[in-house]
Amino acid sequence: MGSSLLVFILVINSGDPLQELRESNAENVEFLIQQRIEFMNLDQPWYQRYWTWLTGLAGCVVGNCDLGTNMQGQDVGALVQQAAGASLRLVFLATLFSIIIGVLTGIVTAIRQYSTLDYAVSFLIFLFFSLPVFWAAVLAKEWMGIRFNNWMADPSFTWAQTGIVAAVAAIVVPGIIGGSLRRRLGTGAVMFAFVLVVMPLFDWLNYARQPQLGPLVITLLGVAVAFGLTALLSGLQNRRVLYSALVTVGLGLVSYYATFWLLLDPAGGWWTIFGLFAVAMLLAVATGRLLGGHARGQATAVSILTAAIYSGLVLLDHFMRHWPGFLSLKPRPISTIGSSSPNFAGSFWEVSLDQGTQLLLPTTLLMVVSVATYTRYTRASMLEAINQDYIRTARAKGVNERTVIFKHAFRNSMIPVTTIVAFDFAGLIGGSVIVERVFGWRGMGDLFATGLGNSDPAPVMAFVLVTGTAAVLFNLIADLLYAVLDPRIRV
């Protein structure tokens, strides 16, 4: 309440909302001035205007919110519903990808402290964190938007481009994997040859315009994920966990054919997809519990992750199948302005592709800044946990390194990172103001900037309300997650 009062006072004293009308030569200027005075309650004292807004907000308790009207007489509540949908979609995706990438990168750099990879990642993280968002947005528009659209008109790679990508892959991948000099040279040679074969093959298949995975590739990737997650979380010697993951892949293949025609044009849209995903998670849980034996906890976790990744691959396959149709409707797929293409008409998948390509540039920018934060905090927390006495005790008892890292160190290091997530989500909503202005998104950032520029308190107060509520809600979620991560907090 105190912050809302302070913001209200600052906004109403930041300028004159009637200035443009006083300078107008319109014949009905007096009517327009009187109309704006009524819309904004400018004939009332400031404290009465604030009390009117506060009582309207109190009506939300009984489901009758009244956030007032802006200077044009539009209902701010309706504007917030439209703007919040666009902003939360943008911020949620940026937060999700930032957590996944940042936490994984932080773990790897902590495990390989002071290595070449650690120094390279640290340099890139500090670089990304210090980038001016407005400048990075201009670069993203130019290289990821305009030039990519030009390339999509006739997508192909020259031998020079192929050689450069192959050389970069031959340097970067061995640096990430690590190992002895002989192992790195071997990995680099394999990656160099792999890129030299794959990129011309993609050109020959016209893969950029007609991509497709298909059930065979999805299943092979699913099997690789099953082995990888089992090796990472349990160890390949734990056959029950591996069998649970492989059975999950088999069920995924059956579900691919069972739901193929249903997903060609889902009647319920995203609700149908979310419902099928929930069913896949339930099947994964049942598989892990039934086949896991004494390791049913690990088997369930591996099965859930395998099912989630397999479901994502199936979803990606459907998007790829509709990519040619989307390009026929929108030859320049990456838009640099707006959250959706005006008057765009197509199937469910084509409309979703349009919305997804609109999300690409602003989400990437918000994600780059947050990844830097999550990486540094995860690395610092992991290093602190690894140096604790209980880690040395676990290693002295002969516990394998995988269990030490992921079961002991990682879980304890997530407590401070959870706190950062709670603040970062609300912070990203505030930070999206610049990104939304650059990319022409009609979201909460645009609502805030427009209201502040016009000295119009109602939209600004709505922005403060949404961000403040998000901050409180995510701090509550963080407090609940503390108890999940550390059983001692439950007591």
Closest CA to 407 of 422, 386, 387: 386
Q: Name the token pair of 63.
A: 């489901």
- 392 and 472 inside one domain: yes
Write the DSSP symbol of residue 144: I
User: 281 versus 172: which is more confidently predicted?
Assistant: 281
Write the DSSP symbol of residue 75: B
Q: Examine the pLDDT at 113 and tell me if it is beyond 90.
A: no
- 55 and 160 inside one domain: no
pTM: 0.82
Given a contact cutoff of 8 angstroms between Cβ atoms, the answer to whether 388 and 413 are in contact is: no
Interatomic CA distance for residues 294 and 219, integer angstroms: 27
Range of weakest confidence among 58-67, 151-160, 307-316:
58-67
Q: Name the token pair of 176.
A: 């990430």
Interatomic CA distance for residues 444 and 180, integer angstroms: 51
349 in any annotated domain: no
Q: Which of 180, 205, 230 is the last residue of a domain?
A: 205
Instruction: Note the pLDDT tens digit of each residue in 453-462.
Output: 888 888 888 8
328 in any annotated domain: no
Write the DSSP symbol of residue 293: G
Q: Which of 205, 235, 262 is the last residue of a domain?
A: 205
Count of positions (residues) in the chain: 491
* Full domain range(s) for residue 162: 156-205
Q: Name the token pair of 109.
A: 């750099």
What is the pLDDT, as a whole number, of residue 27?
A: 77
- 160 and 49 inside one domain: no
- 90 and 169 inside one domain: no
Write the DSSP symbol of residue 132: -
31 in any annotated domain: yes
255 in any annotated domain: no
Q: Which of 205, 231, 265 is the last residue of a domain?
A: 205
171 in any annotated domain: yes
Instruction: Note the pLDDT tens digit of each residue in 163-198.
Output: 999 999 998 888 877 777 888 889 899 999 999 999
- 88 and 13 inside one domain: yes
- 82 and 189 inside one domain: no
30 in any annotated domain: yes
The count of structural domains within the chain is: 2
